Amino acid sequence: MKAKGISSIMINRIRKYRKQKGMTQADLAQQVGIARQTVNLIENGKYNPSLDLCIRICQCLNTDLNTLFWEVER
């Protein structure tokens, strides 16, 4: 449990890593087995993917969970 007055935000770097690999949203979606629209929602912070999906995305982008998703204290 966090102390009162401390908030945090989740950072999502999927778009950055996807573009670095020269992939479109459709490319990533096809490789991890989801709809392109789901990739868009995840990249824009409007959908919280399951841990399984996060791991598949990391594998596809050759990175790890800590790199793509992390919590930042504000």
* 14-33 pLDDT, tens digit each: 999 999 999 999 999 999 99
Quote the CA–CA distance of 37 and 13 in Å, as a whole number: 17
> According to the model, what pLDDT value does residue 74 have?
57
For each of the domains in the chain, give its residue range(s) and CATH number, in order of start: 11-65 (1.10.260.40)
Distance set, CA 45 to CA 4, 41, 65 (Å)? 24, 6, 16
> How does the average pLDDT of the chain come out, rounded?
86
Element (H, E) at 68: helix 65-68
Entry pTM: 0.80
Mean pLDDT of 2-11: 52
CB contact at 8 A, 33 and 57: no
Mean pLDDT of 42-64: 94
pLDDT over 70 for what percent of the chain?
Answer: 81
